[in-house]
Chain A
C-alpha cells in the first residue's frame, strides 16, 4: 500500500476540537473528566483513552495574545524510537507508514513512553498495555480518511498519499511564506520522516514542540552496545569457566585436591 500522509495546516485550524471528539467516537474511547488548564485548553496530555487533543499555546505577537493551536497525536515516525525501545517486539511499522502496537505482545514495560521524543505512548495501569493513536488504520487502509481528517470542517487536517500530498504541503508553505517567513513544515524530515506533518507559522517551541526531536543516544547505547556487549561478556565468562574446568582436569588438580585434603586430614590440618 502506498505511503500515506496526514497534513495538519495550523493556519486553517480554528480550535474547534471536533477532531478529538471524532477520534473518541471512531475508536470507541470513553470521555474523560477534564479541567481547564489554560484559557481554552482542557486536555493537558495524552492518556490511554485520549489519542488526540488540541493544545492552545498562548503567545503574544505585537502585544496581542494569539492561540497557537496544535492538534496533537502520534507522529507515526518512519524510524520510531518507541519501536526500538520496545521490550517485546510489540511495536511495528506498516507499509502505509503507520506505527502500531500489538497489544497481545505488549507487556506495559513503559520503555516506549520514556523514549518517544513527543511523549505520545501512555500505559494503562489497569491492563498494562500501551495505548496511542493508531492513525485510524482500519479506515485508512480501507480507502477512508482518518476520523479526525473526516470531521475537520476547515481542511486543516488533510489526508492522502504521501507522494501527492507532500507537494501540496510544500506549495502551501511557499504561499504562506510570502507574508510570514516563519512558516515551515515540521515532521517531514524528523525521525526518518513522520506520517503526520505539520505546517507551523512560528518556531516549534511557540507551539510547545521540541526543536530537534531525536531518538535518545541512551537508546542507541542501550540496544546497540550494552545488549550485545553484555551477551558477549556472559558468553565469554561461560566459555572461560568451561576451559577452566577442562584445564584443571587435564592438570590433574581435581585428583590432587582429593589427595591433598586426605593428607591434611591425616596430619590433622596444618
Chain B
C-alpha cells in the first residue's frame, strides 16, 4: 500500500462536513424561495412551508457546527484555529500558486513555490468561504428576525444573503470538481473522510508542509 500522511484531524473533518451538508440543505431549501421555478421541488420535503422551517433549523446547525469546531483545547479545535490563521496569512508564495490556478484547473501544470499546509488556491477558497459564511449567517438571522429589525437593515440583508448564497454555490461547484473530478487534486478526497492523504501527493502539492510537519506522520 502507498505511504500516507495525516492531513485532517477529526475536528476539521467534522466542521467540513457539518458545513458542507448543511450548506447543501440550505442551498436546496433556499432555492425554493429564491427561484420561483424551483418552488415545486420543495414538495420533496412536504412543501414550501416545511422547507422554510427546515432552512431555519439547518441554519442553526450550520452556525453551531462551525462555532463549536473552534472552541476548546482539543486537537480538532487547535487545527481549526490554525487553519484560520494560515488562510488569512496570504503571502507571495501563495499568490504564485494561485496565479497558476487556471492552468492546473484545466489539467495543465506549471511549477509553483513549495506550499504550506494550505496552498494559495485553498487559502483563497477558504477566505471566500469565511467571508461568504459570515455574510450569509448574519444576513440570514436578520431576515429571520426581520420584524424586530430596522427596515433598512432588513432591506440590505436580502441582496447580501442572495449574493453570498449564489457566489458560494458557484464556489462549491468548482470545489466539488477539484475534490472529486480533477485527476490530480482529487487524490486529496480520501483525506476529508479518513484524515490521511497519499504521501506522494502531499509532497507534490504541499512541499513545505510535508517537510516541516507531515513527514513525521508517515505510515504504510
In the assembled complex, which residues on chain B have CB atoms less than 8 Å from the CB atom of A227?
34, 162, 166
17 contacts between A and B (CB under 8 A): A110-B146, A111-B158, A218-B155, A222-B159, A227-B34, A229-B163, A233-B167, A234-B169, A240-B177, A245-B177, A248-B106, A254-B183, A256-B183, A257-B184, A261-B198, A269-B3, A269-B220
> Is the Cβ of A221 less than 8 Å from the Cβ of B2?
no
> Is the Cβ of B163 less than 8 Å from the Cβ of A230?
yes
> Is the Cβ of A234 less than 8 Å from the Cβ of B105?
no
Interface residues of A (CB under 8 A from B): 85, 87-89, 107-111, 113-115, 119, 128, 216, 218-219, 221-222, 225-227, 229-231, 233-234, 236-238, 240-241, 243-245, 247-248, 250-251, 253-254, 256-257, 261, 264-265, 268-270
Q: Which of B9-30 contact A (CB under 8 A)?
A: none
In the assembled complex, which residues on chain A have CB atoms less than 8 Å from the CB atom of B154?
114
Closest chain B residue, CB of each to CB of A222 = B159
In the assembled complex, which residues on chain B have CB atoms less than 8 Å from the CB atom of A108?
49
B68 at the interface (CB under 8 A from A): no
From known contacts A88-B39, A89-B36, A114-B154, infer whether A241 and B162 are also in contact, taking CB-CB under 8 Å. Answer: no
Residue A107 contacts which of B3, B52, B187, B203 (CB distance < 8 angstroms)? B52
A86 to B156, CA, bound (A): 15
Q: Which of B161-220 contact A (CB under 8 A)?
A: 162-163, 165-167, 169-171, 173-174, 176-177, 181-184, 187, 198-200, 203, 220
Choose among A89, A231, A248 the residue with the greatest number of B CB atoms under 10 Å from its CB: A248
From known contacts A87-B33, A234-B166, A268-B3, infer whether A107 and B48 are also in contact, taking CB-CB under 8 Å. Answer: yes
Closest chain B residue, CB of each to CB of A256 = B183
Residue B183 contacts which of A218, A222, A253 (CB distance < 8 angstroms)? A253
A100 to B187, CA, bound (A): 56
A238 to B173, CA, bound (A): 7
Closest chain A residue, CB of each to CB of B171 = A237
Closest Cβ–Cβ distance, residue A113 to chain B (whole Å): 7
Residue A261 contacts which of B2, B105, B107, B173 (CB distance < 8 angstroms)? B2
Instruction: Summarize A's interface: helix, strand, loop or mixed.
Output: helix
> Is the Cβ of A237 less than 8 Å from the Cβ of B173?
yes
> Is the Cβ of B181 less than 8 Å from the Cβ of A244?
yes
From known contacts A109-B33, A268-B2, infer whether A236 and B146 are also in contact, taking CB-CB under 8 Å. Answer: no
Residue A115 contacts which of B107, B155, B170, B174 (CB distance < 8 angstroms)? B155
> Is the Cβ of A269 less than 8 Å from the Cβ of B2?
yes
A119 to B155, CA, bound (A): 12
In the assembled complex, which residues on chain A have CB atoms less than 8 Å from the CB atom of B184?
253, 257
Closest Cβ–Cβ distance, residue B43 to chain A (whole Å): 13
B108 at the interface (CB under 8 A from A): yes
A14 to B1, CA, bound (A): 91
B44 at the interface (CB under 8 A from A): no
Q: Which of B29-81 contact A (CB under 8 A)?
A: 33-34, 36, 39, 48-49, 52
**12 further contact pairs, Cβ within 8 A, besides A269-B4, A270-B199:** A88-B39, A107-B39, A108-B49, A110-B147, A114-B158, A218-B152, A227-B34, A240-B105, A240-B177, A254-B183, A264-B200, A269-B200
> Is the Cβ of A218 less than 8 Å from the Cβ of B159?
yes
A222 to B184, CA, bound (A): 38
> Is the Cβ of A248 less than 8 Å from the Cβ of B166?
no
A229 to B33, CA, bound (A): 18
In the assembled complex, which residues on chain B have CB atoms less than 8 Å from the CB atom of A250?
107
A270 to B147, CA, bound (A): 60
